[in-house]
Structure 1
Amino acid sequence: MLSLSDAKKIAAYKAVDENITSESKIIGIGSGSTIVYVIERILQLKDSLDKEIIYIPTSFQSRLLITEGGLNLGDIDQYPEIDVTIDGADEVDENLNAIKGGGACHLREKLVAEAAKKFIIVADYSKHSTTLGEKWKQGVPIEVIPFAYLRVMNSLKELGCDNPILRMAKAKAGPVISDNGNFIVDAHFGLIKQPKELLEKIKLLTGVVEVGLFVNMAKSAYFGNEDGSVSIKHT
């Protein structure tokens, strides 16, 4: 039986093998623990890939992985059109809708995902569910302008969130600050049977920068399983 880390690894390797080729020119690199294995596999295949490939990070973490690996670093404002983006997820439903933002990077992750011709999700078996909210219990991550967070939290209650929580840092006193200088509110809505509608309602709230619901975006998802196999789902 594979550990969650090993399940992430085999899924990441297969996703890279099948989606990053010599034809790929601009690659989006997501954030989180799974992306370490994505970069690891890219570096293993480096000699067989185009040396001019540009890699677009979604966070400080992925930027560091790219530069430490000696890969070509680019930014979304330089390369607004991306061939393929590979990223992890906190939960993925049967329709490949996802919750992202556990690492507070979902604004940049969504920008890089939307800019890609193909958005590929990589995850371990524990992230796959029938309905969003079934396994990810921390709530929908919402990036919020700092001075608006209390008003947004009150509005989220009106939308059906019982107890929105301002995410607090673990190594310091105070809230988590995103790479963009904003706060993160985690809003639990239970099972999310209509993620598109919920996303639209939250996005309309003044002060909300981005919502960690990725709806109708992924082309494929790779799930590493306990038995060492990889399940691939397509939209």
Structure 2
Amino acid sequence: MSRELAPIDKAKFVAAKRAAEMIEDGMRVGLGTGSTAAWLVRCLGDRVAMEGLNIVTVPTSTRTADLAREVGLKVVSLEEAGWLDMTIDGADEFDGELNLIKGGGGAHLREKVVAAASDQLVVIADKSKEVASLGAFPLPVEVLPFGLSTTRSLLEETLISLDVLGRDVTLRMKGGVPFVTDEGNHILDLHLTRIGNPRQMAMVLNQIPGVVENGLFIDICDRVVVGYGDGRVEVRDINEGSVEEGRVDFLENENLFTDLEE
């Protein structure tokens, strides 16, 4: 290994490596966006190079697509791939029912579309992403640039009637200007602290004019792979109600640990 990884990065890596082992030859695979998903892409690239694994991938963002091509993965559009066998993605938060908050990287719209077009959604995360109730991480809501101030006002008004502890709404910025998604939209981050009824909130938010999609993923995740800094890994299956425990060895393969963007 070219450098010593911090415990949080080790946890992300072991979760990603364990999930990469779930991929079989001939699969069509959705690839998520974010630092943990980037580990997955590297691990899949390593399997393709070492084992000759033949897979087709559908990335959920341009930066994931660039990394996938860089490590030798075949990249196609969702239209070309059709239905997917599995999507593997990260999460900003997950609860005991495997409901998620996603969108910290600004790609939750594409991530939700790709996940919905998959037989299975597998989430990879370090232990710190597990919460008793969703909401500590700001909830991203992708909105149209047209009528942005109106949409924001409607969101703020709607939050008054919902079971949340905080109601601050901020426009996501990057480099001093509003963040722009791959679809050309903006993101409003809802600082809620706690979401009492995630299912209700997901439905209500998407009814607001100008809202394209929110970052709540409800009843869509099948398994979560939880990594720990000491190499331990858990695979929790919501459908089977099972928990598989194991350990992942760190490979002395410099290709996996260099030039990885967080």
Residue 193 of structure 1, CA deviation: 2.6
Name stretches of at least 5 consecutive residues in structure 1 with no aligned partner: none
Residue number in structure 1 paired with 2:172: 167
Residue number in structure 2 paired with 1:10: 14
Residue number in structure 2 paired with 1:115: 117
Q: Deviations over 1:203-230 (max 9, x none)?
A: 0001111111111101000111243211
1:180 and 2:183 equivalent?
yes
Q: Is the 1:25–1:50 contact (alpha carbons within 8 Å) kept by the matching residues of 2?
A: no
Residue 234 of structure 1, CA deviation: 1.6
Residue number in structure 2 paired with 1:154: 153
Residue number in structure 2 paired with 1:124: 126
Q: Deviations over 1:10-61 (max 9, x none)?
A: 01101111x2012x4211001010122111211222143543x211010011
Q: Is the 1:90–1:98 contact (alpha carbons within 8 Å) kept by the matching residues of 2?
A: yes
Identity %: 35
The 3-state SS of whatever aligns with 2:208 is coil
Matched residue count: 227
- The whole-number CA distance in structure 1 between the counterparts of 2:98 and 2:6 is 23
- The whole-number CA distance in structure 1 between the counterparts of 2:28 and 2:173 is 35
Residue 2 of structure 1, CA deviation: 6.1
Q: Is the 2:168–2:192 contact (alpha carbons within 8 Å) kept by the matching residues of 1?
A: no
Q: Deviations over 1:119-164 (max 9, x none)?
A: 0000111111111014x2xx21011000122112111212226221
Residue number in structure 1 paired with 2:72: 70
Amino acid at match of 1:71: L
Amino acid at match of 1:76: L
- The whole-number CA distance in structure 2 between the counterparts of 1:106 and 1:174 is 20
Q: Is the 1:13–1:38 contact (alpha carbons within 8 Å) kept by the matching residues of 2?
A: yes
- The whole-number CA distance in structure 2 between the counterparts of 1:38 and 1:174 is 30
TM-score w.r.t. structure 1 length? 0.92
Q: Deviations over 1:161-216 (max 9, x none)?
A: 622111111x2x31000011001000122211311100000000011111111111
Residue number in structure 1 paired with 2:201: 198
TM-score w.r.t. structure 2 length? 0.83
- What are the within-5 Å matches in structure 2 for residues 16-55 of structure 1? 16-17=20-21, 19-22=22-25, 24-46=26-48, 47-48=50-51, 50-51=53-54, 53-55=55-57
The 3-state SS of whatever aligns with 1:77 is helix
Residue 62 of structure 1, CA deviation: 0.9
Q: Is the 1:97–1:216 contact (alpha carbons within 8 Å) kept by the matching residues of 2?
A: yes
Name stretches of at least 5 consecutive residues in structure 2 with no aligned partner: 160-165, 239-262
Q: Is the 1:91–1:132 contact (alpha carbons within 8 Å) kept by the matching residues of 2?
A: yes
- The whole-number CA distance in structure 2 between the counterparts of 1:69 and 1:56 is 14
- The whole-number CA distance in structure 2 between the counterparts of 1:193 and 1:81 is 33
Q: Is the 1:2–1:228 contact (alpha carbons within 8 Å) kept by the matching residues of 2?
A: no
